Amino acid sequence: MRVWFKIRLAKCKLLSHKAHKQAKKLALAVLITEYLIAGGWYYAEKGGILDYFQPKTVIINIAEAKEQPKTDRISELMDLIWQRESTRGQHNYSKCEQQGKVNGIGYGISGNGKYICFDSHEEEMQVLRGWILDKQAKGMSEQELLCLYSGSNYKGCWDIK
């Protein structure tokens, strides 16, 4: 029984010695890790990196819509009509071009053979401006006047910007 006890005691001493060695290694690893963490924290503070993690107050200003002057908006509507009717003058009404005149806004072209031609682009734009001002004076919205002008043929004529 003594031999068995001595063998057991020797095994325990060996395991204890191995565990003690492993504990020293573990303690050293913990110490090195703590040193690295503390050093990293120091350099992060010194370099301002931790400021990225600080909560910040964000102020959001609510924008107020300002009405644009009608003259600018009328010019935009005129340009939109000119774009849709003739791709800004690239596809004028052919019967007017044959006479050396223009109609790139589709004004007065009814489909029954009657049409109006203008001497210049400026003249057709003056007529178009007058038509838009007249319809707005009668209380017509931009969407309504575009649909009326096109005969409701514009795709999405109610979806203008």
pLDDT tens-digit map of 101-151 = 888 887 776 666 677 888 888 998 898 899 888 888 888 888 888 888 776
Residue 116, classified by CB atoms within 10 Å of its CB into exposed (0-12), middle (13-18) or buried (19+), is: middle
pLDDT one-digit tens code per residue, 137-157: 888 888 888 888 776 665 555
| H helix runs in 63-139, sequence order | 70-86, 94-98, 121-137
Alpha carbon distance 68, 1 (integer Å): 106
- Give the burial string for 65-100 (b: 16+ CB within 10 Å, else e): eeeeeeeeebeebbebbbebbbeeeeebbeebeeee
